[in-house]
A and B are shown apart, each in its own frame.
Chain A
């Protein structure tokens, strides 16, 4: 197939091998602290990839993605602590729970366009967070969250309990997700998503079921975020509502914008930026957000398509915004 055209393999193959090599040997040369930094890079990469399906591929503004992440994390936390189900068994369960949640919540709002959808998703994310704080059915532990989550295992003797094992767990999942997503991008489903992003009316009139494909993007995006939530919960051994704030959704949005909408290598760069940035600038912690804001403004001015825009023509965020307003017939 002509995969080179969309530019992740092919000409950059040697670069890819080099990067994979570095990723494999990296944890054997650094302290646990830096392995954990790379672990959180992986978490953000997975979350960025999941939001990218909705925001980058279909062009739907979703500022409540942390809500899906929270559903995944709390599903894992509650089922593990109350029923003792092993974490790795809960991995698909969390994904399915987040996916079903997305399906139910997004079905009635899927016809909203652009900024309207954006506002509703913000509300959705906030409602999830507030619901968790209010401790429904005595399950979520209120503001304190849920404690004492196990290490990942299938219930047998094999247990993931060191930083280095966590590191490999998350990055193997990221790599598998990337492979799956590249295949989706190059399938009729990925093309249908891109068509909807480009022109909803024309997509419908070319035979694409706009509503179902938007929902599909939300469900797959939420399921991946649910996977990230599962691993996050077991890594921290505790989950609490403040980890899933509106700010978290904004960070994910920034990952996609910085990297380049619809571009998988771009997402990885964006995730690296978001997760490594606070570490690099730790000495200047007070000015961190200032610099961050400045970088975002400069990005929008000079590289509106992201650091590594998608070859097939990822749209620029600004042009997508302006097009939102003239999408009617």
Chain B
């Protein structure tokens, strides 16, 4: 599934330069710089309201930044529409799961393949052979993704009817079906129990190894952050206050003060 060759792809996958997002009088993200390198798990942590999700929403095109740039690979994707950004190769999940509730699990994943297909109205109505072939491919890829996250037993179940933990995995599978280079996960472990979180961590590590993905993560669970991150950035009140490997962050006094010390999340 890996897109692009290791040798030809530059080291840097995603870079934000001076990213600023303002809501009314509130500076949600203030001059945020970060560089995500290929093949790493980059975690973004910080107290509630620090602006982590806003950074994600700017990167994935849901918000337009007031200032700054988002560079993906060699391309400036600042202010592009969400569907364009997906087609460039950034897929995301949401903090509060956003599935297509009244569609089956398989159809949810097939939606992710949408941007990799191109059948138009006429070829769909007249069911040309290219369209049939494409449909078959969409179905095959989606089937393999649903197996990958272990949800094949829910294949034809409506998304709203499956357990919460499975819905999380389904959302990740939908993101993977877009064939991304960078996976952006907003609190993937929230609402999961210890066992499910363990499975999720293993799954993410496997993605990095087998599919050469890069993962950008917002996480509150310190075990996950310390367990799988290659790099951690800490945000507070819209600013990045620290960045480094998990041990450095763990011992950084500013981080402890801003995050771990005052607003312990468990």
Contact = CB atoms under 8 A, between A and B. Distances in A.
Same complex for A and B? Answer: yes
Interface of A: 1, 5, 180, 183-184, 187-192, 194-195, 198-199, 201-210, 216, 220, 312-315, 329
B130 interface: no
B103 A198 contact: yes
A155 to B, nearest CB: 26
Given A1-B135, A192-B111, A205 B103 contact: no
Contacts of B121: 184, 189, 216, 220
A205 B99 CA distance: 11
Interface stretch (B82-90, B190-198, B255-263): B82-90
Given A188-B138, A329-B62, A206 B125 contact: no
A187 B86 contact: no
Given A1-B135, A187-B119, A188-B117, A204 B99 contact: no
Interface of B: 57, 60-63, 81-83, 86-87, 91-92, 94, 98-104, 107, 110-117, 119-121, 124-127, 131, 134-135, 138, 156, 158, 174-175, 178
Given A187-B131, A194-B102, 9 more contacts: A184-B125, A198-B102, A202-B94, A205-B92, A206-B111, A208-B114, A209-B83, A312-B103, A314-B102
A191 B98 contact: no
Contact of A208 (B111, B124, B156): B111
Contacts of B103: 191, 194-195, 198, 312-313
A111 to B, nearest CB: 12
Contacts of A192: 111, 114
B85 to A, nearest CB: 8
26 contacts: A5-B156, A183-B127, A187-B119, A188-B114, A188-B134, A188-B135, A189-B119, A189-B124, A190-B124, A192-B114, A195-B111, A195-B114, A198-B102, A201-B62, A203-B111, A205-B60, A205-B62, A206-B86, A206-B91, A206-B174, A209-B81, A220-B121, A312-B107, A313-B103, A329-B62, A329-B63
Contacts of A205: 60, 62, 82-83, 86, 91-92, 94, 98
A203 B110 CA distance: 12
B114 A207 contact: yes
Contacts of B126: 183
Contacts of A329: 57, 62-63
A308 to B, nearest CB: 16
Contacts of A191: 103, 107, 110-111, 114
Contacts, number: 118
Contacts of B134: 188
Given A198-B100, A205-B60, A205-B62, A183 B124 contact: yes
Given A183-B127, A188-B114, A189-B124, A207 B98 contact: no
Contact of A204 (B82, B104, B113): B82
A242 B115 CA distance: 44
Contacts of A203: 100, 111
- Most B Cβ at <10 Å: residue of A1, A184, A202, A313: A202
Contacts of A206: 86, 91, 111-112, 114-115, 174-175, 178
A208 B83 contact: yes
Given A199-B99, A312-B107, A188 B60 contact: no
A209 B111 CA distance: 12
B4 to A, nearest CB: 18
A207 B86 contact: yes
Contacts of A188: 110, 113-114, 117, 119, 124, 134-135, 138
